[in-house]
Amino acid sequence: MRRAVQRALRRAIGFLGSDSAERDFAAELDSHLEMHVADNIRAGMTPDQARRDAAMKMGSVAAVAESQREQRGLPRLESVVQDVRYALRGLGRRPGFAAACIATLALGIGINSAIFSVVNGVLLAPLPYARPDRLISIWTRHPEVHTDLSPMSVANALDLRRMVTAVGQLEALQANLIPATLVVNGEAVPAQGVLMTGGMFSLLGREPLLGRSLRDGDRLDRIVLSHAFWRRQFSGDTSIIGRTVGEGARAVTIVGVMPKEFVFPYPSMLRAPVSFTSSAEVDFWAALPDPSLPAAAATARQDVDRAARLYAIVARLEDDRNLEEARADVAVRWQQLAQAYPDVNAGWETVVVPLHDQAAAPVRSTMLLLMSGVGVVLLIACVNVANLLLARSVARQRELALRAALGAGRARLLQQTLIESLVLSGAGAAAGLLFARWATPLLVSLAPPATPRLSEIGTDWSVVIFAATISVLCGLVVGLVPGLGASRVALRTTIDAGVRTASDNRRRLRGVLVAVEVGLAVVLTVGAGLLVRSFVNVLAVDPGFASENLLTLGLNVPARHDSGEKRIEFLRQLFARLESVPGVVSVGGVTRLPLGGANSTTQVAVEGRVPPEGQWPEADFRRALRHYFETMGIPLSRGRLFDQRDRAGAPAVVVVNETFARRMFGDEDPIGRQIRLGASSPVRQAEIIGIVGDLRHRRLDTPPAAEVYVHYLQAPPVAPLVVVRTSSDAARLAPAIRAAARDVDAAPMPYNVRTMADLRATSMLDRRFLMGLVMAFGVLALVLAAVGVYGVMSLVVAERRREIGIRLALGAAPRGLVALVVGQALTLAIVGGLCGGIVAMAISPLIASQLYGVSATDPITLAGVMTLLGVVALVASWLPARRVMRVDAVTTLRSD
């Protein structure tokens, strides 16, 4: 080993000073010959004889010198340069061939680079925080009642902060965005905020653009604005720092503005990270006062209530600790907390996840799928180019044989073939990168807008390195296949016979390539087919409500309505005004819209069998306003809906959905039963009066969850979402409804005015994106495979021209010969297709999580794809096979 290194080092040095070494060696050979000649003369030869004998004994000086030269320097750099030049000349002479190869590789490498840019931006690149690899998030989970990741109470969080030693800094943020209203220039503006402990910004290590960021000890009324909100509402006015907006108890002071690219939290770090279609734009950040301070009355309830699981945790690992140690440490401390507070903590366990994984979680499977998809496209492109090179190497067989006869070794011939393919793939990579620069922004614009870290996608050095790497790999693959065949040339037969046909060996190789290509195309097309079927299935899903002619808008109750009665009065006026708009059928409202991207939950328990507080199951929690169920078209199954009787002071009542009824009561009748609700609900105990139909809240492809509704008259909300059923196209009525809403008592601006149909379409954007891309890859794969089959079969026909001529002359029917060629292609396609089908089945788990209503091994899709590929192969081989008909036996036989 050491010896080899030493030798390599000397060779490298020798390479640098090769001129003097060359002279030195020449001198050594001269001295050798002189000594030999002198000895020979001494032994009695004539000078002439002596010289001849010495030269003969020496052997070929040129060969020795060459061997010496090769050993002395680095591996044949001169010959490499020579081969590159040769390859360029050769390609220049056949521009059509070169263009076909380069274009195919450019396409393959280009889309791979473009997809890699996206994957790199959203999945691989480190989070834009200080030393992001040391950041972790901490969640809790209950193996039975709450299997998803759950936030924890601020009291537990602060205890963990005190107890855990494996992390340095530990901060908490409320895992829901908080709707608020800021008064800007007398105008009430809805805004979404994040409430978090004061040290969060310093933990993330990000500085504000203007003013200061938040810190421990800040009061709740100090806020930091997002760059986008500042630009939108304050036109980027730098003098707002220190300004107080709003009045009275609701006044807040703006202390800073964060930079444009700052994002925190990513939606996937919030509660119930369901998908990346849930948009969560943060307008401001506010510091949660330290609950241990007496001044923090507002959060005192949460401090006491360990069951209110509202806070997500972000922490930084100590420099000398790793993730596993942190996991163990957190788990041990949590055990202590579970013993100290068994009512709420027993049975729960902690989950520690790197913050990066947490942020990227929703897109990981999509990104991996896309990456695999383009990988397959690249493979097919490589096979096509390998086929082209193979065809060319047949044409060059004589040249290669001649070179071998003149003394070129097998390695040398292989080197030359490889260098040619590397030149091709290098050119392909360059063109591919240009393509990627164009395609990446296109991909970003097509991607669902709520994809985490979409703004961080760009073509940077890692993309260039990626492209370079795959281009070298492509070059090697593409070059080795025909190269290995070519270097094994049977010299004499080739030169003598002047053959123009491929050897058996090569024919077999070509067949394998065609089969591989078809197989790969099958794999990709099966994936695309499954995604299309899933998309169609999701389109057909009944969401549980009627989404046509439905307008939704957010509308915050103005801050001055600071009691329940005042809020109810405001809402009463608002609904009356909206109902008076011509074309409006009915009006209602809810605190979380289905497919709206947000959710909130509460713990529930059935009176009479209440488990310890920590064991209460969770249900989705909503407040229903006015005629919510009627407006949405959510059917009533049993009992009754809310009405005016269910007001403040009357017995508290709830409506639940069917899933709730089934899960909590089984076969019992829930109507009239009392349930208890958790700390996050304003109503803590209520009677069930009705059961309504299930609806798809999170996504169309997610099964319904248990839901419990309270009535707005008994629990008036501050930030309801209004739904309006219209008699015709909801979008057309939007301006009138918006204007009517503003009529009421100086109401704030409605926000997020959207039709339900639009929300529904948006909820499918990620699915559409994935399906669209994989479908495009599938089509590309089909086209490439068709081109490959066509090319090979054309070649086969050209090569067998002579044979065909003879057969025709002997009386074979042209039709039969066409069938022969097509049959050969179909056999290859069937073998390849079957192998591809098997591979597709084998890797089906990869795509399973993206499917809906169709099995990853769906036989119909598979059969459909096989048939499609069969037809493609049939057409692609029939076109060249037709040429058999035009073969003229006499001229063909004469020509050779």
Partner 1 sequence: MAPKEHTVWQGTLSLMILRTLVTMGEQHGYGIARRIEQTSDGRLSINYGTIYPALLKLEQEGLITSAWGVSDNNRKAKFYKLTKAGRRQIDRDTRQWEATSAIMTRFLVGNEE
Binding segment (CB under 8 A) for partner 1, from list 26-34, 496-504, 537-545, 673-681:
26-34
Q: Residues 225 to 254: which contact partner 1 by CB under 8 A?
A: none
Contact (Cβ atoms closer than 8 angstroms) between residue 100 and residue 426: no
493 binds partner 1 (CB under 8 A): no
Minimum CB separation of residue 2 from partner 1 in Å reads 9
Minimum CB separation of residue 62 from partner 1 in Å reads 10
Minimum CB separation of residue 56 from partner 1 in Å reads 9
Minimum CB separation of residue 77 from partner 1 in Å reads 17
Binding segment (CB under 8 A) for partner 1, from list 63-71, 116-124, 160-168, 870-878:
63-71
Which residue lies nearer to partner 1 by CB, 47 or 259?
A: 47
Binding segment (CB under 8 A) for partner 1, from list 30-38, 188-196, 254-262, 402-410:
30-38
Contact (Cβ atoms closer than 8 angstroms) between residue 394 and residue 502: yes
Which residue lies nearer to partner 1 by CB, 31 or 493?
A: 31
Spatial separation of the C-alpha atoms in residues 565 and 569, rounded to whole Å: 6
Minimum CB separation of residue 38 from partner 1 in Å reads 6
Closest alpha carbon to 606 in 666, 646, 658, 647: 666
Which residue lies nearer to partner 1 by CB, 29 or 671?
A: 29
**Residue 246: left if φ>0, alpha if ψ -120 to 50, beta else—which one?**
left
Minimum CB separation of residue 407 from partner 1 in Å reads 15
Which residue lies nearer to partner 1 by CB, 37 or 733?
A: 37
Minimum CB separation of residue 848 from partner 1 in Å reads 56
Going 688 to 692 to 694 to 695, the CA torsion angle's sign is negative
Which residue lies nearer to partner 1 by CB, 26 or 328?
A: 26
CA distances from 328 to 142, 325, 884 (A): 17, 5, 74
Strand, coil or helix: 555: coil
Q: For the range 337-345, what are the long-range contacts, defined as Cβ-Cβ under 8 Å and sequence gap of 24 or more?
A: 337/156, 337/159, 337/160, 337/163, 341/156, 341/306, 342/612, 342/614, 343/307, 343/612, 343/613, 343/614, 344/153, 344/306, 344/307, 344/612, 344/613, 344/614, 345/156, 345/306, 345/614
Q: Which of 16, 31, 260, 565 binds partner 1 (CB under 8 A)?
A: 31
25 binds partner 1 (CB under 8 A): yes
* Sequence-distant (≥ 6) Cβ neighbours of residue 322 within 8 angstroms: none
Strand partners, 244: 253
Minimum CB separation of residue 82 from partner 1 in Å reads 21
Number of C-beta neighbours around residue 565 at 10 A: 10
Q: Residues 781 to 840: which contact partner 1 by CB under 8 A?
A: none
Which residue lies nearer to partner 1 by CB, 19 or 320?
A: 19
Closest alpha carbon to 129 in 213, 210, 191, 193: 213
Extract the tokens encoding 272.
Answer: 């119930």
CA distances from 654 to 538, 635, 675, 695 (A): 31, 16, 9, 17
Residue showing tokens 């393919």: 421
Binding segment (CB under 8 A) for partner 1, from list 1-9, 322-330, 443-451, 828-836:
1-9
Minimum CB separation of residue 47 from partner 1 in Å reads 16
What is the Cα 415 distance to its own chain's centre? Answer: 38
**How many residues of this chain interact with partner 1, rule: CB under 8 A?**
29
Spatial separation of the C-alpha atoms in residues 732 and 152, rounded to whole Å: 44
Which residue lies nearer to partner 1 by CB, 12 or 739?
A: 12
Contact string 71-100 vs partner 1 (x = CB under 8 A)? xx----------------------------
Which residue lies nearer to partner 1 by CB, 32 or 508?
A: 32
Which residue lies nearer to partner 1 by CB, 236 or 409?
A: 409
Which residue lies nearer to partner 1 by CB, 38 or 848?
A: 38
Q: Which of 15, 18, 22, 29 binds partner 1 (CB under 8 A)?
A: 29
Minimum CB separation of residue 11 from partner 1 in Å reads 7
Minimum CB separation of residue 487 from partner 1 in Å reads 21
Q: Which of 16, 17, 26, 27 binds partner 1 (CB under 8 A)?
A: 27
Minimum CB separation of residue 513 from partner 1 in Å reads 37
Which residue lies nearer to partner 1 by CB, 39 or 548?
A: 39
Residue showing tokens 């058999």: 884
Q: Which of 16, 46, 49, 63 binds partner 1 (CB under 8 A)?
A: 63
Q: What are the start-end ranges of the H helices in 176-322?
A: 200-204, 227-234, 300-304
Minimum CB separation of residue 418 from partner 1 in Å reads 25
Minimum CB separation of residue 52 from partner 1 in Å reads 14
Q: Which of 46, 67, 244, 493 binds partner 1 (CB under 8 A)?
A: 67
Extract the tokens encoding 48.
Answer: 């002439």
Contact string 32-61 vs partner 1 (x = CB under 8 A)? x-xxx-xx-----------------xxxxx
Side chain identity, residue 318: E
Question: DSSP of 482-536, one letter per residue?
Answer: HHHHHHS--HHHHHHHT--SPPHHHHHHHHHHHHHHHHHHHHHHHHHHHHHHHHH
Contact (Cβ atoms closer than 8 angstroms) between residue 285 and residue 227: no
Number of C-beta neighbours around residue 831 at 10 A: 17
Spatial separation of the C-alpha atoms in residues 346 and 352, rounded to whole Å: 18
Q: Residues 432 to 471: which contact partner 1 by CB under 8 A?
A: none
Q: Residues 2 to 21: which contact partner 1 by CB under 8 A?
A: 3, 6-7, 10-11, 14
684 binds partner 1 (CB under 8 A): no
Going 320 to 321 to 323 to 324, the CA torsion angle's sign is positive
Spatial separation of the C-alpha atoms in residues 278 and 280, rounded to whole Å: 6
Minimum CB separation of residue 869 from partner 1 in Å reads 51
Question: Which helix (DSSP H) or strand (DSSP E) does residue 582 occupy?
Answer: none
Extract the tokens encoding 95.
Answer: 């521009």
Which residue lies nearer to partner 1 by CB, 46 or 71?
A: 71
Spatial separation of the C-alpha atoms in residues 661 and 444, rounded to whole Å: 43
Which residue lies nearer to partner 1 by CB, 34 or 357?
A: 34
Which residue lies nearer to partner 1 by CB, 36 or 738?
A: 36
Q: Which of 64, 81, 610, 841 binds partner 1 (CB under 8 A)?
A: 64
Minimum CB separation of residue 351 from partner 1 in Å reads 57
Which residue lies nearer to partner 1 by CB, 38 or 491?
A: 38
Which residue lies nearer to partner 1 by CB, 6 or 469?
A: 6
Tally the C-alpha atoms within 13 A of residue 841's C-alpha that lie toward its C-beta.
Answer: 11
Task: By CB under 8 A, name the binding residues for partner 1.
Answer: 3, 6-7, 10-11, 14, 24-25, 27-29, 31-32, 34-36, 38-39, 57-61, 63-64, 67-68, 71-72
